[in-house]
Structure 1
Amino acid sequence: MAGTASYEREMEILRLLDVESRVSVTELSSRFSISPVTIRKDLEMLERRRLLRRVRGGAVRTEHSDEGAFELRLLHRAEVKRAIAREAARLVRDGDAIALDCSTTCYYLAEQLRDRQGLVVVTNGLRAAELLGSSATVVLTGGTLRPSSWSLVGDDTDFPVRGGPLGLGFFGVRSVSPAHGLLELSNEEGAAKRRLGAACRKVYALFDSSKVSRFAMYPFVPVDRISGLITDAGFPDEAVPAWRAADVTVHRVTAVPQD
């Protein structure tokens, strides 16, 4: 539980920095009702990961953060990602065997699945595994740890191939293409997702609409193996026919803030 509390504090610190650009040890200590010593340790850990820069009495936002840092991506368009996750969760039933990748949208999907019974979840995402560890049977794929995304990557992520077919697979993307399918920017990330996707009977891409026009190099699921795209209302109308022609369903959801 202590590790979870620390992670939640870190997320809140990053959220405050995103809004205010600067945080103080005194204010954070009061907000979390913990000692300044503990707050300084939190800030030190975040600085080591280049997510902020410590200054006298607190910390400031850094413009040199790792673009792929999981914590920062988790904050980006969070309500949209949660809406996509809620839609994806409708597909999952008690007792299903599914795959989740290491994306932030799949992290939000894992949040939605904590009340499911009897799930088997194969994932290369350490944060999703942590969320589901007490409510599902969680299997990690293996591979090399990539700290910026808290993921296991590389060609040795082979458990799904040995373990038999999974029902549903859910994947975040760097980009999508009706010609090339689901794509990643990193070769090692793509390799991990390719092996995970190959073990799934149905594959769904979960992404916010800003990914539609982004550059990516490495396909990991071809178009003929994609069952559906779950995205937001910003997904362009003109892009839908090409996906429908490939027999891929496009689900567009509207983000509504949750109380």
Structure 2
Amino acid sequence: MLPGARAKMVSRRQSEILKLLDGQGMLSVADVATALGISPETARRDIRVLVDAGAAVRSHGSVGLAGQTGEAPFDRRMRENAPAKRAIARAIAARIADGASVMLDTGTTTSFIARELLRHRRLTVVTNSSDIARILATANGNRVFMAGGELRHDSGAALGASALEFIGRFSVEHAIISAGAVDAGGVMDYDLQEAEFARAVLACGGERIVATDASKFGRRGFIRVTGFAGIDLLVTDRPPPLDLSDSLTQAGTSIAIAP
């Protein structure tokens, strides 16, 4: 069953699919349809809902529970709210011109942004994410600079003093971070080193952008990254709640809602 509020979004049939998958590894869509006595098309629709919600993983015509397929934590997070993150990524990529300089921290939303930037040419990219560096390093005449240091096993991110010292050498047109939590007080995170790196990224940018889906609104992390006065633009998929919107307006921070 999906955790928290998402459980309410799961239909009875989708709950049956989750129960069927529990402990089974990967099953074909045809096997799911046969077991539940539904058409393959109906099974595919329900599975698509579960995959978009991050509860299931689909691969080559088969499906399994996200936590039971050997999937890495970062890959699993990439599937959470994927349509919203993809829309946010498209909106941000549309602001970036060919030949621009961009700095991106590690995060699932910024990884989606990197994928959208594959349509661009001659970018200069600075990042601490091995995923983002791998995506953009060999594409369309880009130059990619990756911060050094020990890579996190869960995200493939380089963090710590050497990463901070490295990115401090750069000044870019667009500094873009993801967010672990956003409330009326600003942007927060749950990891000290990730928060420190995100804060350093913002200090390097001419335009400072926070990319976050609406599921992060109202959450409160315990490490502050920045108040809203420290960012120029927040890009999200749904309008923020009133208290958060008021705080953004008072700080002079623009809000962009991704279509």
Q: Do both share a fold (TM > 0.5)?
A: yes
Letter in 2 for 1:156: S
Alignment of 1:111-130 (within 5 A): 111-130=115-134
Alignment of 1:1-259 (within 5 A): 20-21=21-22, 22-24=24-26, 62=67, 69-135=73-139, 136-157=142-163, 158-162=165-169, 164-179=170-185, 181-233=186-238, 235-254=240-259
Letter in 2 for 1:167: E
Gaps of 5+ in 2: 1-16, 30-56, 58-62
Deviation at 1:214, TM superposition (A): 1.6
Deviation at 1:230, TM superposition (A): 0.5
**Alignment partners' CA distance in 1, 2:117 and 2:184:** 29
Deviations 1:189-215 (A, max 9, x none): 112222222111221111111111222
* Runs of 4+ with deviation above 4 angstroms: 16-21, 58-61
3-state DSSP of counterpart to 1:233: coil
Letter in 2 for 1:174: G
Letter in 1 for 2:95: L
**Alignment partners' CA distance in 1, 2:161 and 2:245:** 33
Contact 1:18 1:61 in 2 (8 A): no
Aligned residues: 208
Deviations 1:155-203 (A, max 9, x none): 32122212x3111111111112443x32210001112222222111221
Deviation at 1:237, TM superposition (A): 4.0
- Coordinate RMSD, CA, aligned: 3.1
**Alignment partners' CA distance in 2, 1:61 and 1:140:** 30
Structure 1 residues 61 and 120: alpha-carbon distance in aligned structure 2, compared to 1, 3 A threshold: closer
Letter in 2 for 1:146: R
3-state DSSP of counterpart to 1:102: coil
Structure 2 match to 1:48: none
3-state DSSP of counterpart to 1:156: helix
Structure 1 residues 18 and 224: alpha-carbon distance in aligned structure 2, compared to 1, 3 A threshold: farther
**Alignment partners' CA distance in 1, 2:138 and 2:179:** 27
**Alignment partners' CA distance in 1, 2:126 and 2:235:** 20
**Alignment partners' CA distance in 1, 2:74 and 2:234:** 22
TM-score, normalisation: structure 2: 0.71
Letter in 2 for 1:151: A
